[in-house]
Chain A
């Protein structure tokens, strides 16, 4: 009997099989390798994400820290100047018509930091080139005088509330109330 030689070769090779046990071992090893590869990629992606987001956060935090330093320094300096009030009013309702160029309404501070103070009067000022009200307030019991700054809580200033800092003997406390940023400055010892 004669047969195409290619067919005989084909039949010979197709009859050859890698042993099942070896094949199973190899495919298991391959699956482990693929998993390890996926884990490496995930770890790499996580590292890259960490570096990128860490960098962005650090940049944001550094910028926020710089802004806080500048605002506190500005507020403390104005406090030390102890400028006279332009309008002498004891009531916040009377303050608004007197400072009618303000593009926001000055609400009486509700925070604990400003409790026990009486309004003495106010004047215009600015914080980081943003129009603000500079109020002189006096503590009803101790008689100590402090300066309260009120301005709009713009996106640029949004990172400031919740901080207390000291600048050259002046303590500055920052908080927000509604859409407003409050900064209370008083002598450190008071």
Chain B
């Protein structure tokens, strides 16, 4: 993975944490430069994500007091649900409604391809907790997508009837 891909990856991960492009750019930049200052290079993706995460916690979680509700441990891989295809803006809105930890876990799993164990190591949570976070995130997104699809359907019917 070259520097640009790695940096884009860090940006997307930061985006999954912050949901704000500007803040994500700042986090990715600060994480990148912090590793360079410490090690003279970015050792690997895991260390970059970890640095970005710590910066996020320092900067955002304390300020905004984001609540992380403890979850029960589940030791099974939840099935990936099928959902209606949602518009980009709808998905952005649905992702914003997830709790930060749910969004982070889903991002690391669905986009970066991390296993629940790897996510647990990065985020210092148990594997079961990570699986639970992913499961809840999927469930919420699927429900949201169903609602959005139903709304669009209702809109078409209303429009067709007029």
Contact = CB atoms under 8 A, between A and B. Distances in A.
B8 A5 contact: no
A10 B106 CA distance: 9
B37 interface: yes
A5 B142 contact: yes
Interface residues on A, range: 20 to 34
Contacts, number: 96
Interface residues of B, number: 39
Given A5-B82, A37-B36, A13 B7 contact: no
B88 interface: yes
A3 B86 CA distance: 9
A30 B42 CA distance: 10
Main secondary structure of the interface of B (DSSP, over half): helix
Contacts of A34: 36, 40-41
Interface stretch (B11-19, B51-59, B67-75, B114-122): B11-19
Interface in A165-189: none
Interface of A: 1-10, 12-19, 22-23, 26-27, 29-30, 33-34, 37-38
Given A5-B82, A5-B83, 7 more contacts: A5-B80, A5-B138, A9-B111, A13-B12, A16-B11, A18-B24, A27-B3
